[in-house]
Amino acid sequence: MAKKTTMSDIAKELGISTVTVSKALSGQKGVSEELRQKVMDIARDRGYQKSFASQPKESYKIGVLIGSRYVGNIDSFYGHMYQIFSAKAAKTGSFTMLEILSDEDEKNLVFPKIIGDGTVDAIVIMGALSEEYLNMLDEKLKTPTFYMDFTDRKHQKDSVISGSYYGSYILTNYLFDKGHTDIGYVGTVLSTSSITDRYLGYVRAMMEHGKEINKNWILDDRGIDNDKVDFEKNTVFPKGKLPTAFVCNCDLSANMFIQYLKIKGYRVPEDISLVGYDDFLFADGASVGITTYKVDMDEMVKRTIKRINHVLRGEKYRGGLSIVEGSLVERDSVKDLTKSKKV
């Protein structure tokens, strides 16, 4: 039996993207009439038939780009997200190619290899990259691009993120429910959109409880350019009175902050309580189970793949920003001060 012709086959023959083929076949804008006719002629000559639910699905090659600072640990958050993404993409008939972007290549604006060879139909960027690098991709990249776990107002790509603002709001209120009123925040504000959103959720909860933000209790965990988490390098530890609890922007920071506090002579949760975000447990483990906000990775991946398929098939869909809510997970990193007051 002869192999069925796909949009990818037509794209390869004409030296164009699968998206362009899809637009040409579905009559969408953005394709010249001359090119549209070439696509139609080849589709007719090769016996191309549009896929329906009862027929085999189109197979796409999806490139995934992740900054190296996010995957220093083999059990990293984005490493796990990629595994889920790859498995779900395979179930739809597509496969993925991963490229880890080094700090040096990001700084020097080196074009990704998976894009440069022209073999992928779509690109997914997991985790925020520098504004300069995103600008470079925006100028040079013709391949459809999707963001996961971050968004950027300047580039207006389809983005799927977790409910950072509301999640942090829930976590901060949880601390108030446990009797904490002096609460700080751990995370370099404006270094990423998610860290900033989580800070704003914290601020809202503090304001609703009539508490002013103590700037000395807002601790940086990385540089403003979103480099690796390093408390010794970036944190100015408060002098004098400390808060009884901190909202940490992610579990990685929470885990490292526990070790940092230990060096300073403080125990979690006996002396200081904290909460994290992500619900991701690292291979090296934390000495204390971290109360956190669970990110629904499965749903984030599902929505992203669905959008990719819509675009590559030339189907109409509602794009833009999609927010996936999560859930509170209680562990051992928060001391219940309400019980202490009753004793």
Nearest one of 236, 276, 235, 270 to 254, comparing CA atoms: 276
Structure confidence at residue 282 as a pLDDT band (50, 70, 90): low
Residue at token pair 């490139």: 63
- Quote the CA–CA distance of 163 and 168 in Å, as a whole number: 8
Residue at token pair 């579990």: 251
Q: Write the pLDDT tens digit of every residue in 170-220.
A: 999 999 999 999 999 999 999 999 999 999 999 999 999 999 999 999 999
- Quote the CA–CA distance of 245 and 272 in Å, as a whole number: 5
- Quote the CA–CA distance of 25 and 296 in Å, as a whole number: 36
Residues 74/134, Cβ–Cβ less than 8 Å: no
- Provide the percentage of residues in the chain whose pLDDT is more than 90: 63
| The predicted structure's pLDDT at residue 115 | 79
Q: Write the pLDDT tens digit of every residue in 83-134.
A: 999 999 999 989 999 999 999 999 999 999 887 766 789 999 999 999 999 9
Name the phi and psi angles at 68, rounded to 5.
Answer: -60, -25
- Mean pLDDT for the stretch of residues 309-334: 92
Which two structure tokens, joined as six digits, stand for 1?
A: 């039996």
Residues 174/328, Cβ–Cβ less than 8 Å: yes
- Quote the CA–CA distance of 27 and 42 in Å, as a whole number: 15
Cα atoms in the 13 Å half-sphere on the side-chain side of 76: 16
Q: Give the full edge-to-edge strand order of the sheet including 95-101.
A: 95-101, 61-67, 122-126, 145-148, 158-162, 321-324
Which two structure tokens, joined as six digits, stand for 342?
A: 């009753």
| The predicted structure's pLDDT at residue 273 | 98
**Which residue ranges form the domains of the chain, and what is each CATH number?**
1-56 (1.10.260.40), 61-162+296-325 (3.40.50.2300), 164-295+329-342 (3.40.50.2300)
Q: Write the pLDDT tens digit of every residue in 52-92.
A: 433 345 689 999 999 998 886 556 889 999 999 999 999 99
pTM of the shown model? 0.78
pLDDT at 342 over 60: no
